[in-house]
């Protein structure tokens, strides 16, 4: 995913050898290598910042979804309780109506 943005691996940095001039390492070679390292570290920092932003958004979304699930569960439970009460009331009305029909016919 990020392979095209990162040039050096840890092994590349560890195994890097510079050619030695009469006065020491070739400054241009060292500078070029350090420029690549700086670019890579800058890219790592950008990747980390973006991932942290994504992580924060996902945590917030996860929290919102958990709250929504909690609220929906509460609503379902309330509906079940209300449904049972309505069903019980409905049954009592039906029984009452049947009693009136049966008792009404017997009384006639």
pLDDT by position in tens, the chain (length 108): 566 777 777 778 778 887 777 777 787 888 888 888 888 888 888 898 999 999 999 999 999 999 989 888 888 887 776 666 666 777 788 888 888 888 876 655
Those residues whose C-beta lies under 8 Å from the C-beta of residue 33, and which sit 6 or more positions away, are 16, 18
Instruction: Give the pLDDT confidence score for residue 106 in this predicted structure.
Output: 61
Instruction: Give the pLDDT confidence score for residue 73 in this predicted structure.
Output: 86
Tell me the whole-structure pTM to 2 decimals. Answer: 0.52
DSSP letter assigned to residue 18: P
The CA distance from 50 to 62, in Å, is 18
Max Cα separation, the chain? Answer: 129
């Amino acid at each position: 995913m990020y392979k095209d943005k990162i040039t050096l691996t840890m092994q590349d940095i560890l195994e890097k050898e510079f050619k030695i001039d009469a006065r020491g390492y070739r400054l241009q070679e060292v500078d070029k290598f350090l420029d690549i390292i700086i670019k890579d570290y800058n890219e790592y920092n950008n990747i980390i910042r973006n991932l942290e932003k994504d992580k924060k958004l996902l945590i917030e979304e996860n929290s919102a979804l958990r709250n929504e699930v909690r609220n929906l569960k509460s609503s379902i439970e309330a509906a079940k309780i209300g449904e049972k009460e309505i069903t019980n009331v409905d049954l009592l009305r039906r029984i009452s109506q049947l009693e009136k029909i049966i008792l009404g016919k017997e009384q006639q």
